[in-house]
Structure 1
Amino acid sequence: MGLNRFLRTGLVLKASQIAAREMRKPENQRRAKELVTKVTRRGQSGPPPRA
């Protein structure tokens, strides 16, 4: 049980380091801004209609 928790914690830490490193890249910052803009615009106009 202790080893599994230790490994899981290590994986989460490594994943967060990778995510932070990737978000420092300018092209990924641009993509994140575009995604936020897209989501906020969709939120302002309401949910998309269902077919």
Structure 2
Amino acid sequence: MGMLSKIAKTGMAKKVVDEARKPQNQRKIKDALSSFTDKRKGGTERH
């Protein structure tokens, strides 16, 4: 059972990496990261 779980996790990790390499997904990731960091900066400056 443990070996099968490792194989499944490895397959999912490979799928995530493959999807992250696609240009259209890289754009989405950059936009989401930018949005997240902007929210964090906005939240810390309001004292």
TM-score normalized by structure 1? Answer: 0.81
Q: When the two structures are aligned, how many residues end up with a matched partner?
A: 44
Consecutive unaligned residues of structure 1, counting only runs of 5 or more, are none
Q: Which has the higher helix share?
A: 2
TM-score normalized by structure 2? Answer: 0.87
Identical counterparts, % of pairs: 25
Runs of 4+ in 1 over 3 A off after TM superposition: none
Alignment RMSD: 1.2
User: Higher relative contact order at CA 8 Å, sep ≥6: structure 1 or structure 2?
Assistant: 2
- Structure with greater Cα Rg: 1
